[in-house]
Amino acid sequence: MCGASLPAASADVLAQNRRVSTPFMIEKTQRDAGRAWDKFYKANEDRFFKNRHWTDREFEELRQNDHDLLTHDTPVLLEVGCGVGNTVFPLLEKNAQLRVHCCDFSPRAVDMVTKHPAHDAERVNAFVYDLVKDTSLSAHLAARPAWPAVSTLSLIFVLSAIPPHEQVRVVRALLDHIPTGASVVFRDYARGDLAQLRFHTRRDAPWAEPSLLSDSHHWYRRGDHTMAYFFTRDEVERLFAEAGGVAGSVEEVVRTDTNRKTGAIMERRFIQARFRRV
Ligand SMILES: C[S@@+](CC[C@H](N)C(=O)[O-])C[C@H]1O[C@@H](n2cnc3c(N)ncnc32)[C@H](O)[C@@H]1O
């Protein structure tokens, strides 16, 4: 199902429990984001996220037999916020020509990419990089001088981990590193997703620091101190328009799951977008 509006019941849930965290905690959460994700990977290793075998089904840009990754003799993907490679490795397996630059600010995650049984340094350039703080992306891409320019940039559940006031700058800096004609694929959490509703329904201890990080943005701190932002379709459209230099389409995708035990209907909501560098 695409583009469905938020049910009234979900809007009611989002109106509940809107206490905002203290300025000190908001600042600390941003400052310590890298450490929080690194701890996440220390605790979960590669067990938390499943391999994303769906990406080439959802994005023709990632299929071997469609234009982008085929018209280039050597297609090159830049996957940012790659984690332990759940997006990267299924694509490498399906497309023997593919080369991948991938980065994450968690050294543990990048280490797990390089130790993955399917890792091959001839095809994978994995490096530690903070999308908010670092500015040396060109140098990292130049570490594989024989590879052609990036043909596809992927942002899969990473922009939601970036503070809202940094998102346009981060996207603009990435777009500066891909040539005209390259494609951009994006998937991330949408407003009203089950994960967001849970922030408003769970009962924190009365003394606990609230997880909401803004009274004007749908931005939260999880229990493990990583951040999560929930986008609308219009926001993603505006964000990429403001970053500039791309044309494409943005849609909201809604998947309904039923809890087999309780019969409760759960809505997963995502924003999915495809652009081309112009
Ligand atoms: C939900 S995971 C998604 C991983 C991967 N894209 C995938 O498809 O499975 C989000 C990733 O973004 C990374 N991340 C968050 N903020 C980042 C930043 N400022 N710079 C680089 N990576 C970041 C986290 O470390 C985490 O691995």
Q: How far apart are CA 210 and CA 205, in angstroms?
A: 9
Is any atom of ligand 1 closer than 6 Å to the C-beta of 150?
A: no
Q: What average pLDDT does this structure show over 22-51?
A: 91
Distance 162 CA to ligand 1 centre (A): 9
Distance 194 CA to ligand 1 centre (A): 20
Closest CA to 17 of 161, 223, 206, 152: 206
* Averaged pLDDT score across all residues of the chain: 90
Q: Is 231 helix (H, G, I), strand (E, B) or coil?
A: strand
Is any atom of ligand 1 closer than 6 Å to the C-beta of 185?
A: no
Q: Is 1 contained in some domain?
A: no
In which residue are the tokens 């219009």 written?
234
pLDDT in tens, 137-174: 999 999 999 999 999 999 999 999 999 999 999 999 99
pLDDT in tens, 101-122: 999 999 999 999 999 999 999 9
Distance 158 CA to ligand 1 centre (A): 5
Q: Is 253 contained in some domain?
A: yes
Q: How far apart are CA 78 and CA 83, in angstroms?
A: 13
Return the residue whose CA atom lies nearest to atom 9 of ligand 1.
86
Is any atom of ligand 1 closer than 6 Å to the C-beta of 230?
A: no
Is any atom of ligand 1 closer than 6 Å to the C-beta of 147?
A: no
Give the residue with greater pLDDT, 236 vs 3. 236
Distance 130 CA to ligand 1 centre (A): 10
Our count of domains for the chain comes to 1
For the chain, what percent of residues have pLDDT higher than 90? 69
Q: Is 190 contained in some domain?
A: yes
Q: Is 188 contained in some domain?
A: yes
Is any atom of ligand 1 closer than 6 Å to the C-beta of 101?
A: no
DSSP state, 20? B
Domain of residue 253, residue span? 19-277
Written as one string, the DSSP assignment of 182-212 is -EEEEEEEBTT-HHHHHHHHS---TTSPPSB
With 80 as the cut, is the pLDDT of residue 202 above it?
Answer: no
Q: Is 211 contained in some domain?
A: yes
Q: What average pLDDT does this structure show over 19-31?
A: 93
128: CATH: 3.40.50.150
Q: What average pLDDT does this structure show over 178-201?
A: 94
pLDDT band of 72, cuts 50, 70, 90: low
Q: How far apart are CA 8 and CA 197, in angstroms?
A: 12
In which residue are the tokens 């996220």 written?
49
Return the residue whose CA atom lies nearest to atom 6 of ligand 1.
82
For the chain, what percent of residues have pLDDT higher than 70? 94
With 80 as the cut, is the pLDDT of residue 265 above it?
Answer: no
Task: Quickly list H helices, 16-136.
Answer: 23-31, 33-44, 55-58, 67-71, 88-94, 107-115
pLDDT band of 4, cuts 50, 70, 90: low
Q: What average pLDDT does this structure show over 226-244?
A: 97
The answer to whether 112 and 45 are in contact (CB under 8 A) is: yes
Q: Is 8 contained in some domain?
A: no
Return the residue whose CA atom lies nearest to atom 5 of ligand 1.
82
Q: Is 9 contained in some domain?
A: no
Q: How far apart are CA 60 and CA 66, in angstroms?
A: 6
Q: What average pLDDT does this structure show over 245-256?
A: 94
Q: Which atom of ligand 1 is nearest to the CA of 162?
A: 16
- Residue 238, token pair as written in the block: 């505006």
Residue 147 CA: distances (Å) to CA of 8, 91, 123, 151: 50, 17, 9, 11
Q: How many CA atoms lie within 13 A of 146 on its CB side?
A: 6
Return the residue whose CA atom lies nearest to atom 13 of ligand 1.
81
Q: Is 257 contained in some domain?
A: yes
